[in-house]
Structure 1
Amino acid sequence: MEFTSADGQQKYAAFVRAARRAVVAFDFDGTLSPIVDDPEQAHIHPDAGEVLVDLADVVAAVAVITGRPARQALDLGGLEEVGNAIGDAGKELYLFGQYGNERWSSTQHRIVSPRPPHGLATFLRDLPRALRNADAADAWVEDKGLAHAVHTRRLPDPDAAFTRLLPPLRELAQRNGLVLEPGRHVIEVRSPGMDKGKAVERLVAETGAGGFLFAGDDLGDVEAFEAVQRLAKDGMPTLLVCSASAEESALVPLSDVVVHGPDGVLELLRTLIADARSS
């Protein structure tokens, strides 16, 4: 792991001291699971489940906050099994899907979800024309129930297609009262009013957290980073971890610690667990 500054190292030490009262939260794709061409095959890192269970032994709660539908994240992450193990240790695993619109926990084994947003049907009606006009008719459109994501990763020039699609999809989303969330070769359109930052705030309120760590990798995690920064300004021990890659580095300037992908995230967690147990 690489601290972005001496302040980052001091923040890590302060977080270790507060670990027993802290919540540790993660994005899913690019943080706990590798980025792959087919998002439906983005299974959690094979070591992640064991590490998350060990982590729960030294912190107050563990959470996953993802843009994925909750059911998909549960299945790809084996998170129901992980949650059972964490529950057996007297702790809680929280899952916020679709940027916080859906939620599940290891003590409440059901997904709570709202209805699809108004305007999504009209957006979908006009989407094929927008894709054709941007010369991206073959982009894969993922149905998330409460949102739709347009992936350019499989196209011949993913970056160029992403750049062409962003303006028309943003205009189409705004016209239908929806918000647009850009990511790594993906543009997601969903309902307004919820983001990962608000999910962080809910977790803090519900758990009474005395510390907060968030690890993410992408533009969709910016609101979560900003929410944690506000907690830090209020005096809470916090740590922001960027799971960096060659494709995306927007979070690096906001981070206290930079690691390299899911392998780096797990290495950091192992160090944190050892330091918390010896403190």
Structure 2
Amino acid sequence: MGELFLHLDSQTKWIHEVLSQRPRGLFTDIDGTISRIAPTPEAAALLDGVAPLLRQAEATFDIVAAVTGRAARDAAALVGDDHILYIGNHGFELYQPELGKRVLAPAALPLVAALESVLDEIGPPLQERWPGLRVEPKGVTASIHLRATSDPATALEDVYRSVLEHVARASTGLRVTRGRMMVEIRPDLAVDKGTAVSEVIREHGLRSALYLGDDRTDLDAFRALRQLAEEGTCQGLSVAVQNDEAVEVAADADLVLPSIEDVPDFLRLLLT
């Protein structure tokens, strides 16, 4: 497990040392990190104080980015800041509202029809089996939300297995992963939060970066930061928001926040 963040002076010094090199970047997941997990995606809201902290970060960091499984425009609507970068759909989409620029991974586009077909085939029987299950198409990816079912943990295992078997049988070119009480379906390509963060770091020549996340898909970004540090490209710090639904994230982080309630204070520390 990564080092537990206890607001020690030695930890503060270490964080600032890692981020001392410019240009530098701040990358954060949204749901479960700067926004509490909500019953539905539409019900989510930023933690109190986070919005002004992100605006303040724009003056301290050379790149500020929200990295999420949400469609990028949905993420921008939730965060409400047109001046930062949005990496959506687990890395398949980049969106800069200020520039009106949105880019989708070209290799994913031919697989959209296959994704839609899978959702049409599996959605109705799964919803019948698990009332409260919600299918969320997001363009090049999709999420199946299970938090509102009668037994989310059991539903997660059952739905994950069912979708995995269906996708494998149909040879769709898609892959299936698990998140916090959700199943994700996306193109089976070498694209994820880690590849997207690496691309941004290399494109902007960042020399240091911090990534803040809470779920399994954030592990790709943690690993990408480690690789960039090992090759001498960019110093990195991976910070996990501890939770009971994705315990392996804390195990792979450099630093661990005890709960989501600690995130605003941690952001304030970064900006001092």
- Which bracket does the TM-score occupy, shorter chain normalised? 0.7 to 0.9
Structure 1 regions of 5+ residues with no counterpart? 84-92, 275-279
How many Å apart are 1:143 and its aligned residue? Answer: 1.8
TM-score (norm 1): 0.85
Correspondence for 2:178 = 182
Correspondence for 1:69 = 71
Correspondence for 1:199 = 196
How many Å apart are 1:13 and its aligned residue? Answer: 4.0
Q: CA RMSD in A?
A: 2.5
Q: Which amino acid is 1:209 matched to?
A: L
How many Å apart are 1:122 and its aligned residue? Answer: 2.6
**Match 1:136 to one of 97, 115, 130:** 130
**Is 1:126 matched with 2:117?**
no
Q: Which amino acid is 2:244 matched to?
A: A
1:6-44 Cα offsets, whole Å, 9 max, x none, are x977752422322x4211101110111110111111122
Say how many residue pairs are matched. 261
How many Å apart are 1:111 and its aligned residue? Answer: 2.6
In structure 2, distance between residues paired with 1:220 and 1:38 = 19
Paired residues of 2:133 and 2:144 also in contact (CA < 8 A)? yes
Paired residues of 1:27 and 1:65 also in contact (CA < 8 A)? yes
In structure 2, distance between residues paired with 1:107 and 1:120 = 30
Structure 2 regions of 5+ residues with no counterpart? none
Correspondence for 1:259 = 257
How many Å apart are 1:45 and its aligned residue? Answer: 2.0
Paired residues of 2:242 and 2:260 also in contact (CA < 8 A)? no
- Kindly, what percent of the aligned residue pairs are identical? 28
How many Å apart are 1:141 and its aligned residue? Answer: 0.9
How many Å apart are 1:224 and its aligned residue? Answer: 0.9
In structure 2, distance between residues paired with 1:260 and 1:36 = 19
How many Å apart are 1:246 and its aligned residue? Answer: 3.1
1:142-169 Cα offsets, whole Å, 9 max, x none, are 1212222111100111001111111121
Correspondence for 1:87 = none
* Aligned 1:178-257 pairs, distance under 5 A: 178-193=174-189, 194-235=191-232, 236-257=234-255
Q: Which amino acid is 1:186 matched to?
A: M
In structure 2, distance between residues paired with 1:222 and 1:184 = 13
